[in-house]
Chains A and B, each alone.
Chain A
Amino acid sequence: MLAGLFLSLSTSVPTSWPSPGDFLGPVRLPRAADDEPLLAVRAGRVIVRPGEEIENGVVLIERGIVLAVGKDVPIPEGARVLEGKVACAGFVDAWSSLGLDPVSVYDPNVTPSSRTLDALDPWQQPQERVEALRGGVTSARVQVGRASIFAGLGALVYTDERSTPAVLLEDACLAGSIGLARGGRVPDVFDRVAEVDRLIGALDKARRYRESQVEFRDELKTWLEGVAKKVTELEKDFKKAKKDREKEEKDAKDKGKEFKEKKFKEDKKPRAVRFDPDDEAIARAVEGEVPLVVEVHRASEIRRLLDKTEPFDRLRLVIAGATEARSFAEELAERDIAVIVWPTPMGTWRADEYQAHDLALAGELARAGVRVLIGSGGGSDARELRFLAALAVGHGMDAADALAAITSAPARVFDAAQRVGTLERGRSADVLVFDGDPLDTGAPLRFVIARGRLVVQ
């Protein structure tokens, strides 16, 4: 194993907050956990990130933040020390609806600008979140609107519920789905193809919406400059114009004709683009500010989706489900399109879109270089994540890839790599302590630390 990344730390524990500069993007700082005692985890193997471990390293945690990870980090007295064989970062479920109001999850008239945050219901089914924590899942990407083509803005949330806001990222992604059975009706081929085209059409419209906004801004700037120049001119020869006008007025009155004002002409002000919340949301995905997660399963739709999204170069596409994506492995790897796989055993009674389901998909995609994420299938049983990763390894996936698929990879794809997914200084203190390898379902999970608080022991 690579020698641990050694971090020397001055003995004095820094009291100041890690500077905001450390954090990337529109991320909310977790408020201080109520004054928890200092926590320290000592483990035979500390997995900083899959593939990088420290031999009997120590993880120091204070106020919900990992303060230091290293070989011989000094542990201040008064800290509570937890021993274990292996320590690694908390699992991140890439595809879940944990803690959401069930009606909203399957609401068909969700629009691209709907926010999953509005459905986050801490008072509903707390035991689902407790079970998820006991399964090691400390944060999850949750999504409403599984039954509509566009499902709005997903969010990245912590699974433990406390007074501090449980939201890690309000707008982790824009989501959509193609070819799913909506309202009990299984779409035929033409419907499915039409859904791809509607999705692409919406992306295109949003792109033009954003371009026209930029255009409008430029036109308005030039127009305003023009007007300002015009006004200075007019003010300059206002006195002359006033004299001329009085003369003309007098003449018209003398001749008994009716005085006619001079016609004033100027080019019209450019019209602003009408504000459309849906286009705003989709435009953010087209510009790559947030990834676009599309649940799609059959080969024909994946083929069409990959071809049609080619021109959107800044779009960060992520495919969920991807049951028949085996033959597109190279293209997915080359275009760096992440794939969220749901490797659960399925009997014969599976939904129409999972007909070609095979547990080996995750392994094959990973071997072809695709960035593979593992999710619990959009349902609320996130506690199965560890079993799913183990099953994927059992069917040919490399162990390090599988651990990455539930820790660092989802954090990276959803722009939260600075907060979760790895055990490094400055990260949120989500730490799991095992009696064996993290994916060894035979070895029980001893401790779960979520945001610096020991929740399971």
Chain B
Amino acid sequence: MTPFLTTVLASLPVLSAACARPADENVLQIRARELWVGDGQRLENALLVVADGRIRSVSTGRAPDVSLPLYEHDGVVTAGLIACQSESGAAGELYDDTRAVLAGAHTLDVFQPEHRDFERARAAGITTVVLSPGGENLVGGIACAVKTAGGRVLEPRSALALSFSGAALGRTNSAQFFFFGAAEDELQGPAEGGPEQPGRSARGTREPTSYSGAVATLQRLFASGAEPYASAERGQLPVTLDAWDRHEIVRAALFAREHGLRGAVRGAPLAGDPEVLSELKKSGLGVILGPWSAEQTRASLESLPRLSEAGLPVAFALDAPAHSPEDLRLFAARALSVGAPRDAVWKALTVDAAAIAGVGERVGRLAEGMQADFVLWSGDPLDLRSRAQKVYVDGVLAWSEPRPHR
């Protein structure tokens, strides 16, 4: 087959497809040295065709349609990264001191699309972020999944945030109570001479004050049949359960199994512990790991491979802006350094994260029909030496590298 003939043959189907429909104005073709579909497949010099925000086709070896705009990328194209727990653009606003239960709170009300945090997230290759409370409230409210560009809300009711961690327990004004890390003044209780009505309280004096009190309150809330607990029990609304120590994780898993909740545990550095893992498997909950600090012990780094072996979906919490968006790939690098398989780590950044956020069939992979969130990397994204050169959200170029790099 002479070279000329092959190009004609190869372009025939495209031509036929093209002329069948009028050429849309925002069709984009990208040919890259390497394309990661997301389910472990890696395509060499693949062609990605995107049309009005959706992926039209992902193929390898097919010649691009010359009449449509084409962008050649000498690097890797992958789906956009997904950060499963973050307070981007809403630092310090996603929890409330005075009440333990904020069933009606909705993080969507705090979503500021133009905030600089989202731009820095885009620069790190993150296209979707789940705005969810940080676990300081027993019932933190409803989290939402948003895109980091264009102000688009991907999933308004991504999860109901509950917390089984010690952070959610109020503290009495008893002087002996040394809450780890609490500033000295917090222990004095309400400011002297403060207003007298009973509801008013400084940070730290709030019901419930114990694990048993917290479990009793949650049991009562779920027994009441009110929203949003009823839809959580019916399985329509996933939950995220904040739990850090191993006994907190087991308590959260037992509660989820008892009430038939689905979703994920957040924090859980030692989720890889065999006894905790068996409880998690029984409850079917996923795990949102971290965020990890630098001095993370090996035991917690190794929980990612153990969880993925057990078949549980694993994702990373970012907790921006406290942590920089660059940290997401740094967590991945640390997991790789203790021997986690590459596919498991990549799934944690994309496919599993989307599944946990409840948007598994819309983002996270490069496949026909999915939303066109993808990133052009200078090299292997799991290698910290590569950078995001262009980030597309919903098919539109959302961020590109400011200065030409020699």
Answer yes or no: are A and B bound together in one complex. Answer: yes
Judging by beta carbons under 8 Å apart, are A348 and B322 in contact?
yes
A442 CB–B CB distance under 8 Å: yes
The interface size of chain B toward A, counting residues with CB under 8 Å, comes to: 29
- Would A347 and B385 be within 8 Å (CB), given that A131-B298, A444-B336 are in contact? no
In the assembled complex, the Cα of A359 lies from the Cα of B120 at a distance in Å of 13
A232 CB–B CB distance under 8 Å: no
The interface size of chain A toward B, counting residues with CB under 8 Å, comes to: 33
Question: Interface of chain A, helix or strand or loop or mixed?
Answer: loop
Chain B 318-343 interface 0/1 with A at a Cβ cutoff of 8 Å (1 = within): 01111111110010011011010010
Chain B 168-198 interface 0/1 with A at a Cβ cutoff of 8 Å (1 = within): 0000000000000000000000000000000
In the assembled complex, the Cα of A14 lies from the Cα of B192 at a distance in Å of 81
Chain B 367-406 interface 0/1 with A at a Cβ cutoff of 8 Å (1 = within): 0000000000000101111110000000000000000010
Judging by beta carbons under 8 Å apart, are B383 and A345 in contact?
no
Judging by beta carbons under 8 Å apart, are A394 and B334 in contact?
no
In the assembled complex, the Cα of A445 lies from the Cα of B319 at a distance in Å of 29
**Residues in chain A near residue B325, CB distance under 8 A:** 345
**Residues in chain A near residue B384, CB distance under 8 A:** 387, 390-391, 393-394, 439, 441
Judging by beta carbons under 8 Å apart, are A390 and B321 in contact?
no
Chain B residue with minimal CB distance to A363?
A: B405
Judging by beta carbons under 8 Å apart, are A444 and B323 in contact?
no
Judging by beta carbons under 8 Å apart, are B339 and A441 in contact?
no
B295 CB–A CB distance under 8 Å: yes
Judging by beta carbons under 8 Å apart, are B387 and A442 in contact?
no
A353 CB–B CB distance under 8 Å: no
Judging by beta carbons under 8 Å apart, are A347 and B320 in contact?
yes
- Would A384 and B382 be within 8 Å (CB), given that A345-B324, A441-B336 are in contact? no
B294 CB–A CB distance under 8 Å: yes
Chain A 386-422 interface 0/1 with B at a Cβ cutoff of 8 Å (1 = within): 1100110111100100000000000000000000000
A190 CB to nearest B CB, Å = 27
Judging by beta carbons under 8 Å apart, are A442 and B321 in contact?
no
If A441-B336, A442-B342 are given as contacts, then 19 extra A-B residue pairs at C-beta distance below 8 Å, sorted by A number, are: A131-B298, A344-B294, A347-B321, A347-B322, A359-B326, A379-B295, A381-B294, A387-B330, A387-B333, A390-B333, A394-B384, A437-B385, A439-B384, A441-B384, A441-B385, A442-B380, A443-B383, A444-B336, A444-B337
**Residues in chain B near residue A135, CB distance under 8 A:** 337
Judging by beta carbons under 8 Å apart, are A347 and B323 in contact?
yes
In the assembled complex, the Cα of A135 lies from the Cα of B326 at a distance in Å of 20
A163 CB–B CB distance under 8 Å: no
A36 CB–B CB distance under 8 Å: no
List which B282-299 residues lie within 8 A (CB) of chain A: 294-295, 297-298
Chain A residue with minimal CB distance to B324?
A: A345
B70 CB–A CB distance under 8 Å: no
- Would A347 and B324 be within 8 Å (CB), given that A391-B330, A396-B405, A442-B382 are in contact? yes
In the assembled complex, the Cα of A383 lies from the Cα of B384 at a distance in Å of 15
Chain B residue with minimal CB distance to A445?
A: B337
Judging by beta carbons under 8 Å apart, are B337 and A345 in contact?
no
A295 CB to nearest B CB, Å = 18
A346 CB–B CB distance under 8 Å: yes
